[in-house]
Amino acid sequence: MPNKALLEDAIGSVSRETFERLVALEVLFRKWAGRINLVAPSTLPDLWHRHIIDSAQLVKYAPTELRWLDIGSGGGFPGLVLGVLLRARSGASIELVESNQKKVSFLRVAAAQLELPVTVHAIRIEQAAATISPHEIVTARALAPLAELLDLAFPFFDGHTRGLFHKGRDYRRELEESSD
Residue 179: what pLDDT? Answer: 75
How would you classify the pairing of strands 137-141 and 118-122?
A: unpaired
d(CA 51, CA 46): 8
Task: List Cα–Cα distances, 106 to 39, 85, 101, in angstroms.
Answer: 12, 19, 9
Do the beta carbons of residue 78 and residue 58 sit within 8 Å?
A: yes
Neighbours of 78 (CB within 10 A): 27
As a dihedral over the C-alpha atoms of residue 74, residue 110, residue 20, residue 37, rounded to 10 degrees, the angle is -40
The CATH code of the domain that includes 25 is 3.40.50.150
Which range of residues forms the domain containing residue 55?
4-178
d(CA 124, CA 41): 24
CA nearest neighbour of 57 among 24, 91, 19, 9: 9
CA nearest neighbour of 29 among 74, 91, 65: 74
Neighbours of 77 (CB within 10 A): 25
What is the tally of structural domains in the chain? 1
The pTM is what? 0.93
Instruction: Return the DSSP state at 10.
Output: H
Helix axes 101-113, 16-33, angle to 10 degrees: 150
Tens-level pLDDT at each residue, the chain (180 residues): 788 999 999 999 999 999 999 999 999 999 999 899 998 888 888 899 899 999 999 999 998 999 999 999 999 999 999 999 999 899 999 999 999 999 999 999 999 999 999 999 999 999 999 999 999 999 999 898 888 999 999 999 999 999 999 877 777 787 777 776
Please classify residue 67 by burial: count the beta carbons closer than 10 Å to its beta carbon, then call 0-12 exposed, 13-18 middle and 19+ buried. middle
